[in-house]
Structures are given as C-alpha cells and as structure tokens.
Amino acid sequence: MELSDNDIKATILYHLRRKRIIGAKHAPFDTLKMGFPSHLGKDVKKIAEQLIKQGYIIPKPTNYGLQVSLNTLILN
C-alpha cells in the first residue's frame, strides 16, 4: 500500500503529538523517518520540511543536529 503525502503528514504529526513532543520538548529531525518504509525516507524528509515551512513544526538548530517540536499555537 502506497502512502499519500497527506497520510505521511498526518502520521508525522500524530507521532509527535503522541510522544508529547510539544513546545519546549524536542526530538531529532532524523527520527521523523522512523516507522516509515526505508524507500519513503526522502519523501518523509521533504514533507517534514514542508510542515516546518507551514508552521506546524518548530525547528531548533543545535550544534549536534536539527531538533523539532510541534507548534503549540497550532494545537490550540
């Protein structure tokens, strides 16, 4: 079964919400690909970058890599 872009967006947001990665709590950007088939890795990365541009995910650059969290303003 092939996943559409909307399915991937929903899954990324669902996993961040379920793990309570909201506001000041962050997770590595690379872990967003976990749970998806390996052949969808580039698509997941591209869609996650779109979610950052749309404001659903907040990026936090660090010296050891990009960290992300859900935007609290979008949840309310």
C-beta separation of 8 from 15 below 8 A: no
Residue 75 pLDDT level (bands cut at 50, 70, 90): confident
Q: What is the pLDDT of residues 53-65, one digit of tens each?
A: 999 999 999 999 9
Residue 5 makes CB contacts below 8 A (sequence gap 6+) with 43, 47
Q: Which of 53, 19, 16 lies closest to 32, judged by CA?
A: 16
Q: What is the pLDDT of residues 3-44, one digit of tens each?
A: 899 999 999 999 999 999 999 999 999 999 999 999 999 999
Domains in the chain: ranges and CATH: 5-75 (1.10.10)
Report field, pTM of the whole predicted structure over 0.75: yes
